[in-house]
Amino acid sequence: MPSDWCTLPISRRAFVVSAAATGAARVVAPGANAAPAAPTSPLSASAQSAELYVVGTRDGFSVQIGTLVSMMNYTRSVVLQSVRGLTARQLDHLHDPRANSVGALLLHLAATEVYYQATTFDDRADFNAAERARWGAAMSLGDAARATVRGHELAFYLDALAEVRATTLAEFRRRDDAWLARVDQRSPLAERVNNHWKWFHVCEHESHHNGQIAFLRSRLPG
Amino acid sequence: MPSDWCTLPISRRAFVVSAAATGAARVVAPGANAAPAAPTSPLSASAQSAELYVVGTRDGFSVQIGTLVSMMNYTRSVVLQSVRGLTARQLDHLHDPRANSVGALLLHLAATEVYYQATTFDDRADFNAAERARWGAAMSLGDAARATVRGHELAFYLDALAEVRATTLAEFRRRDDAWLARVDQRSPLAERVNNHWKWFHVCEHESHHNGQIAFLRSRLPG
């Protein structure tokens, strides 16, 4: 997969998506210029029901939350596509001594989502002790993650991502657009910050690190 | 700037933003744990008027388009922060023979936005001849960009980004949420694709490559 794959004009891209675009989705990229699956294909049917390329409302969510969920679904599907088929050894590989492994970056995405769950669903300023014990190293990346986030198969990371995302979606279903627009009155920043920005950040933050994952994957040994 | 800077919990981040968050914005990161600028600072006042951390409606745009613009403003501000102060030589540097330069990645962001202008504002399937002549190499990245996108100061790239973004915002002001939700009836994909996805993709695509820019910047020689 070229590092610039996601930038190809959509008319030159063709994806086959193999599952609903929740945290558990697996996405298969047959490669640029491959023919899209026929509409009768079960894979294509799943992709169509997921509507990964249609940003907009989603059943069970308020208008703005559902629209955000549609963005999060698409973005997650791209991350899952980027890491498809990686071995434990590849997930642990360090491009250079300062690099983060792909596995650590994946767990970092889950950790970040847990952090924003705490700040937006539970109105806390940081992880609690249990969260810090489980997610602290992945949240920090760098030395802490290089030392402790390793030796896992891909399923370990995908399960963590799916588990955390399921919590996010369950909480989103209980909330409305007024909650999403709410400004954090306790933020230490001079700038105003709202829940919508925080969850958009969780989403675009996946793209940020997925750019790194694509770069690192394309330079794996062998 | 650590490669994971954007993932820091917001309570540990402090930014000072020096201009409105259009394509011409410049963002200054004093570093994690730095104190936020006082509210009386001109810089902070600009940041507050830009509301970079408030996703939501914006004056002059329909509800969903304005919300998307708020996301695009934030994301662009992060890109500009990532490249702040880079020299022409640094913008040309190649991490390895297959890498894209930071300069090429910046122009690629502008090229991608021009492509999606063509597909959504002009209902074309691809660049026209003039667009291809100006943006084709940056759109393709790789060999074409390594050969031709080089030797420019940072202002060249920032001007291109600002120029393209100004066109996007002018066109957005003339459109409404029904247009944003519209599905592309000519898409060759099996999946449905709408304008909202296309412009969300332009936005998160900046995050994707900004992850690479941050990685590459942190590994520049010297």
Tens of pLDDT along A192-217? 999 999 999 999 999 999 999 999 99
> Of B205, B216, B200, B201, which Cα lies nearest the Cα of B83?
B216
Render pLDDT for B135-148 as a digit per residue (tens, 0 to 9). 999 999 999 999 99
Query: Which of B119, B194, B203 lies at the smallest CB-CB distance from A54?
Result: B194
Secondary element (H or E) of residue A28: strand A27-28
Tell me whether residues A191 and B44 touch, CB distance under 8 A.
Answer: yes
Coil/strand/helix, residue A203: helix
Tell me whether residues A53 and B115 touch, CB distance under 8 A.
Answer: no
Determine if residue B127 is left, alpha or beta; phi over 0 gives left, psi from -120 to 50 gives alpha, anything else beta: beta
pLDDT at A188: 80
Q: What stretches of chain B show up as alpha helix (H) in DSSP?
A: 42-50, 63-83, 88-92, 102-121, 129-140, 142-148, 154-173, 177-181, 195-217
pLDDT at A222: 84
Tokens of B44: 């902070």
Render pLDDT for A73-111 as a digit per residue (tens, 0 to 9). 999 999 999 999 999 999 999 999 999 999 999 999 999
Gap between the Cα atoms of A215 and A212, Å rounded: 5
Tell me whether residues B37 and A190 touch, CB distance under 8 A.
Answer: yes
User: Chain B residues with CB inside 8 Å of A217's CB?
Assistant: none
Coil/strand/helix, residue B28: strand
A120 touches chain B (CB under 8 A): no
pTM, full prediction: 0.83
pLDDT beneath 70: ranges in chain B: 1-49
User: Chain B residues with CB inside 8 Å of A51's CB?
Assistant: 191-192
A174 touches chain B (CB under 8 A): no
Query: Which of B7, B56, B140 lies at the smallest CB-CB distance from A196?
Result: B56
A135 touches chain B (CB under 8 A): no
Mean pLDDT taken over chain A: 83
Tokens of A204: 């675009």
Alpha carbon distances (Å) from B220 to B30, B89, B118, B213: 20, 10, 35, 10
Q: Which amino acid is at B164?
A: V
Burial class (CB in 10 A: 0-12, 13-18, 19+), A52: buried
Secondary element (H or E) of residue A16: strand A16-17
* Mean pLDDT confidence for A49-54: 90
B210 touches chain A (CB under 8 A): yes
Gap between the Cα atoms of A65 and B30, Å rounded: 32
Query: Which of B3, B7, B196 should be substituted to probe chain A, the one whose Cβ sees the most A Cβ atoms within 10 Å?
Result: B7
Residue A174: count other Cβ atoms within 10 Å of its Cβ. 9
A191 touches chain B (CB under 8 A): yes
